[in-house]
Amino acid sequence: MKQYILALDQGTTSSRAILFDPNANIVQVAQKEFTQIYPQPGWVEHSPDEIFDSQAHVMHECMRRAKVCGNELAAIGITNQRETTIVWEKATGAPIYNAIVWQDRRTASFCDQLRADGKAKIIQDKTGLVLDAYFSGSKIRWILDNVPGARARAEAGELLFGTVDTWLVWNFSKRGVHVTDPSNASRTLLFNIHTGQWDDELLAILDVPREMLPEVAPSSSVMAQTHPEFFGRSVPIAGIAGDQQAATYGNGCMKEGMAKNTYGTGCFLLLNTGTTPPVSQNNMLATVAWQTARGYSYALEGSVFVAGAVVQWLRDGLGIIKDSSELEGLAATVPDNGGVYMVPAFVGMGAPYWDQYARGTIVGLTRGTTKGHIARAAIEAIALQTLDIIDAMQKDTGIKLTTLRVDGGASRNNMLMQFQADLTGVVVERPTITETTALGAAYLAGLAVGFWESEEVIARKWKLDRRFTPTMPADRKEKMLYHWHRAIERAAHWIEE
């Protein structure tokens, strides 16, 4: 009987299911968008039930289209939007509040207070993270303090916390298993990346009861079984990794010094730093990349909060394109940006600035500015934000990048990829399979059950689609960077609290 790995890719704006064969080829895909909830400026929420329902729907749809049944599944891998925070009742599985999404900024002032209290260094030393509203810890605390009775119930052991991977496993196992992996745990502000444990001092600082927290199991291990109602039999859930770590694994960046950038809703650049947690002096994040039978791997990460989301905004907010695929063609109607620069800081700026009070800015507008200039400025902004991260990482590690592997929806935009190569002076390599997030989850699950025999076998499956080499003259690059950093200054600290 032919066997497959099913990857569940639960993203910020959609849920997907992708079926892979033993050659790591995509057999079938199903995808479904779900509702984005914006209760007030800077707040972003999802319905936890809609997250699960959409993921279950695409899972069955993918299997149906492929004509594959449950006994042909060797394992399931899960990858997920990270930091998004869900709290639910242990007895019923009912969420007590909407999922608070990673983009949400409601806890910014609490993070400011912790910083004023001198807690930022302790948190960074233990977690590798910059103290910011981006991460799960302050979101958990907000739910406990703002849902009536929640804190007392949490302390009594009646409530559970999970990132989205944990929520999916809890539901697919029919409330049987409460688990996460180190890549997701390391994004909560509660997990010590040096000890590999939830940390009592961090729990006290964030005021989060230990009773709420899931078990932490290796990213590549059989950590749960699906309830028979989903496939007619139990199927092992054998791989979990946060979306960016999964994409790093799926892009074959398993050796120290290899890097990838994912162009999704946000932009996330990870540099594999090997078996030792890195220390950043330039506002990068140290994170667990994954844990396999070989042990822990770590990465340095730079996060851009808004990348592909700026394309959605041009489509849905401004209406200057009807479909995301039109952006490249519109940008090509002009020879350059016409002096227009966009800083898409809709929810603040991530690395290396970490400015939660920045807001989106377009500068350099004239009567001659067209939709084409704005489209081009949006594409350039994605690459310019990535360049800032690469520069900071190279300062931190002394590693001079020569190659950057890319993935995610926007990596199919040839203009963006060429511009990325031009700005960074680094060769950009796009693989034939750009769905590396799902592929990484599949690889971790397959490795755990022997579907693929080793990481070396997995790494050899990476195949090049197209290589982009730098061609931009140095003087033009310097001019662009000068104006870009002027635009950054104008976006910075816009919101006053």
> Which segments are annotated as binding site for ADP?
12, 16, 265, 308, 409, 413
CA distance to 118, 119, 200, 303, per residue, from 115 (Å): 5, 5, 19, 20
Bind-site residues for ATP:
12-14, 265, 308, 312, 409
Bind-site residues for glycerol:
82-83, 134, 243-244
Tokens of 333: 């109607």
Backbone angles phi, psi at 88, to 5 degrees: -140, 165
Cβ-count burial of 326 within 10 angstroms (0-12 exposed, 13-18 middle, 19+ buried)? middle
Strand-pair category, 236-242 with 73-80 = parallel
Bind-site residues:
12-14, 16, 82-83, 134, 243-244, 265, 308, 312, 409, 413
* Count of all residues that appear for the chain in the document: 497
Q: Residue 352, preceding bond cis, omega within 30 degrees? A: yes
Q: Are 123 and 205 in contact (CB under 8 A)?
A: yes
Query: What one-character DSSP code corresponds to residue 177?
Result: -
Bind-site residues for sn-glycerol 3-phosphate:
12, 82-83, 134, 243
Cβ-count burial of 352 within 10 angstroms (0-12 exposed, 13-18 middle, 19+ buried)? buried
Tokens of 188: 């909560």
Strand partners, 262: 268, 407
Tokens of 419: 């511009």
